Amino acid sequence: MDFTVFAQQIANGLVNGMAYVLIATGLTLVFGVLRIVNFAHGEFYMLGAYITYFVGTLFGLDYIAAAAISAVVVAGLGVAANKLIFWPLRRDHEFTILLSSLGLALLIANGGELLFGADPKYVESPFADEVLDIGTVTLTQQRVLVFAAAVVTLIAVYLFIRYSRFGKMMRATAQNPDGAALTGINIGLVHTYTFALACGLAALSGALVGPTVMIFPTIGNWAVLKGFIVVIMGGLGSVTGALFAGLLLGVIESLGGGYISLGFMEAIGYAMIIAVLLWRPNGLFSTARGLR
């Protein structure tokens, strides 16, 4: 086995996996705290990439600023979606909430196609084509950035949930929404903040991954599927689980695609999650209800 190729595939897998982790973190927060399976999460990823593109091209802002603006704007859109759809439905059956998120996903994806045009676009980033050689491994600066920014973001999210006042409110709501409400926690506010955080994270991942590929209005489908696989495999509501599951999925896909069959790359990923769920039905890092 050629070590250079092996190391390169591992590196590719880690970067792809970290992108999955970023997408999955928002999803797992929304599920862990609010018990909502949000199929529109991928569309917020798509919006994040597109808003980064438009802020960059229309207003001439540099890539980093555009990414930050896009995360804030999409966080606002997430709050609006919560107000209009998820908050009013909070007491309804889970299938109803799920279908409403599916409807929202269709709405944003088709609206996006109408608004942004069907032509693929490319998010310009100064790091996209700059190649870094780390030992025998070749990565673009952008891909290194995806990994580094994800690590920083995850640490920030972890500290936020652990130590901030809102983080504590989120955890309390995750464990027992009615009990949390009794102790005077404003559940509505927790909903709002959780959605803002989750959608902002989705947008950030879109802005980060955007320059490594082309963007088009249906990229959200891909993102939400990968996100869900990671979330379920890691354990619903578990940020730590998402981290491990995401990296594992990325590396296994990359090695499976590289050494077994490229065509079956996705299937290998699915086979892994089936194996994990049959072994541990609640995912790798799940013990009980709550946010970890």
Partner 1 sequence: MFGRRTLLAAAAALALTIPVAGTTGAQAQQPPVRIALIGPMSGTGAFEGQLGLEGAQAMAAVINAKGGVAGGRKIELLTYDDKGSPEDGVSAAKRAMEQDNVDMIIGGWFSAVALSMKEVTRDKIITVMTSSQHPKVTEEGHKYLFRLNATSAMMSEFYSKAICERIKPKSIAFMNVNDDWGRLELDNYTKLLTGCGIEVKGHEFYNRTDTDFTTALTKLKSLNADAIYVAAINTSQGATIYRQIKQTGYRGKVIASAGNMNPKLVELSGNSLEQVYSASPFTEDGAAPSLKPWLEQYRKDYKNDPSFIAALGAQAVQTLAFGVDAAGGDPRAYDKIAAALKSQAVPTVMGELRFSDKGQASQAIHLVQVQKKQIVSVRD
Partner 2 sequence: MNTNSHGQPLAIAGGVAALAVLPFLAGNAYLEHLLVLWMLYALLALSLNIVIGYLGELTFGHAAFVGVGAYTSAILSTQLGLPPLLGLPLAGLVAAAFGLVIGYAALRVVGPQFAILTLGFGAILFTITNHWVDLTRGPMGITDIPPMAIGPLAFDSARPTYYLVLALVLATAYLCHALVGSRTGRAFLAVRENAPLAASLGINVFHTKLMGFVAATAIAGIGGAIYAHYIRVITPDIMGVHNVAALIIVVIIGGRGTILGPILGALVYIGLLESLRVAGPLRMVIFAALLTGTVVFLPGGLISLWQRWRNAHRSENTQPATPTGLPSTEGGAK
Name the binder of 278 from partner 1, partner 2, none, CB < 5-8 A by kind.
partner 2
- 281 contributes a contact to partner 2 by CB under 8 A: yes
Of residues 202 through 231, those in contact with partner 2 by CB under 8 A are 221, 225, 228-229
Query: What are the distances in angstroms from CA 13 to CA 8, 10, 254, 256, 277?
Result: 8, 5, 5, 10, 22
Task: Count the neighbouring beta carbons within 10 Å of the beta carbon of residue 82.
Answer: 25
Least Cβ distance, residue 100 to partner 1 (angstroms) = 22
Name residues whose C-beta falls within 8 Å of residue 124's C-beta, 6 or more positions apart in sequence: 53, 56, 57, 63, 211
Torsion of CA 31, 35, 36, 42, to 10 degrees: 0
List 254, 273, 283, 284, residue binding partner 1 (CB under 8 A): 254
Size, binding site for partner 2 by CB under 8 A: 43
Site string for partner 2, 249-278 (x = CB under 8 A): ------------x-xx-xx--xx-xx--xx
- 4 contributes a contact to partner 1 by CB under 8 A: yes
Q: Which is nearer to partner 2, 68 or 99 (CB)?
A: 99
Which among 106-114, 120-128, 203-211, 252-260 is the span making contact with partner 2, rule CB under 8 A? 106-114
List 160, 192, 216, 240, residue binding partner 1 (CB under 8 A): 216
Query: What span, in angstroms and rounded, lies between the C-alpha atoms of 46 and 53?
Result: 11
Which among 82-90, 121-129, 134-142, 183-191 is the span making contact with partner 2, rule CB under 8 A? 82-90
Least Cβ distance, residue 253 to partner 2 (angstroms) = 12
Which among 2-10, 97-105, 131-139, 249-257 is the span making contact with partner 2, rule CB under 8 A? 97-105
List 107, 128, 181, 255, residue binding partner 2 (CB under 8 A): 107
Name residues whose C-beta falls within 8 Å of residue 198's C-beta, 6 or more positions apart in sequence: 25, 26, 27, 29, 30, 38, 41, 44, 78
Name the binder of 116 from partner 1, partner 2, none, CB < 5-8 A by kind.
partner 1
Name the binder of 117 from partner 2, partner 1, none, CB < 5-8 A by kind.
partner 1
The residues binding partner 2 (CB under 8 A) are 31, 37, 85, 88-89, 91-93, 95-96, 98-100, 102-104, 106-107, 109-111, 113-114, 221, 225, 228-229, 232, 236, 261, 263-264, 266-267, 270-271, 273-274, 277-278, 281-283
